[in-house]
Amino acid sequence: MNNVWVTRLRFAPSPTGYLHVGGARTALFNWLYARRHGGVFVLRIEDTDVERSQAEMVTGILDGLRWLGIDWDEGPEVGGPHAPYYQSQRLERYRAAAKQLLDSGQAFEDGGAIRFKVPPGKTTFVDSVHGPIEFDNEHIESFVILRSDTHPTYHLSVVCDDIDMAITHVVRGDDHISNTPKQVLLYNAFGKTPPTFAHVPLIMGADKQRLSKRHGATSVMEYEKLGYLPEAMFNFLALLGWGTGSNDELLTKDELVQRFNLEGISGGNAVFNTEKLDWFNHQYLLKLTDEELVARVGGLGAWGLEGLGKDPAWSSRVLALLRPRCKRLTEYRDQLTPFFEGPTSYDPDGVKKHLSAPEAREHLEALRQAYIATGDWTEVALEKCLRELAEARSAKAATLIHGTRIAMTGRMVSPGLFEMLVLLGRERVVDRLARLIAALAGLP
């Protein structure tokens, strides 16, 4: 039995594409509100558009929600008292509803389709974000509710399901405001009270245009591939168009649940700021312990992380070196590589810029000898050794510094060179210098 006092929200995606950040944010607001009020969060798949809906998109949407940590109490895979949760399996219900309106004279047939007969007057509703909204029915055409192929239109199916599933609050994108009067008319026609509506602002790119591929990744799962943590994405999305009313930004899932309310949703458009997302991600990465961090980085793919697990003290020092500079898991993966394997190629620009003089090789060889001989394998000693050698040979210290970096990483940028040398250890440093020296001999 439905208890009218139970707060029930739903996310109702059409599986015509992957889970977009805008959709994810809508799902998240509904989820937060349901959790805040001890309610129920329903997932319903609106797949009545047979041509555009694809089963693999449903899988993609479920994966995206799960990755973000949004669980559903009723819906695909979990079932529930109002099953089925796929609109394509509820067609008979919509046909019966259309017939009901036809029989009661509130709809009429028109060339095989069934249209709703819009009554005269005005249609009003109070939007939790935008306040009272009024539409003059004169401007609402007698819209189709059941097509001639007996498939329902969105307005009919969404209202039937929201009634049947006892939905109390509909939180969805601003682009649905103009659909709402038609839906309110249908609620009235069925003799039901409409739910509370909250239309949330759309998400814009930095140029204030609607977020699209042009702005970068739009599918939630792309963000996983780009090295973002789901908890950072969750926090970031929760603050896209909603605010706590204070300066607090770093909020855990539980804190967001405690604080979420419809009043905090802003009427203005929300801007998707990638730098801000990076900031959140960095903060969440910094919260992870070394062990957790290694586990997350390892989760990115088959890559030799065993080394980090083997020597926790050494790993901690490596990670401490990288923590301030890595904002995404992919950056860790990239920056960790030189600690495990020598370069497979050398940045040609770096070689040209710093190592094209014939003496460069000899300087590097002298440094290699000095590093074989030095007793003190510390940052200070290694730097001192390099600078003294440069001076003695009337070479530029920069040549040796950049040359050594290229020898260690193949690249022109890396974390602090001497810290890195200490962590790599004498054997690897000397060996990689030798490999670069040999490679330079082969260059014209």
87 or 106: CB nearest ligand GLU: 87
Q: How far is the CB of 238 from ligand GLU (least distance, A)?
A: 18
203 or 351: CB nearest ligand GLU: 203
202 or 300: CB nearest ligand GLU: 202
Q: How far is the CB of 106 from ligand GLU (least distance, A)?
A: 21
Instruction: Exactly one of 99, 122, 213, 310 is catalytic; name it.
Output: 213
Angle at 256 between CA 250 and CA 260, to 5 degrees: 130
Q: How far is the CB of 16 from ligand GLU (least distance, A)?
A: 8
Q: How far is the CB of 428 from ligand GLU (least distance, A)?
A: 54
12 or 422: CB nearest ligand GLU: 12
Name the one residue in this structure whose structure tokens are 């969404």. 158
Q: How far is the CB of 201 from ligand GLU (least distance, A)?
A: 15
Angle at 58 between CA 57 and CA 64, to 5 degrees: 85
Q: Which residues bind ligand GLU (CB under 6 A)?
A: 12-14, 46, 158, 172, 176
Q: How far is the CB of 30 from ligand GLU (least distance, A)?
A: 9
213 is catalytic: yes
177 or 397: CB nearest ligand GLU: 177
94 or 284: CB nearest ligand GLU: 94
| Cα-based distances in Å from 326 to 58, 182, 341, 422 | 33, 50, 19, 20
Burial of 26 (0-12, 13-18, 19+ CB in 10 A): buried
183 or 281: CB nearest ligand GLU: 183
Catalytic positions, please? 213
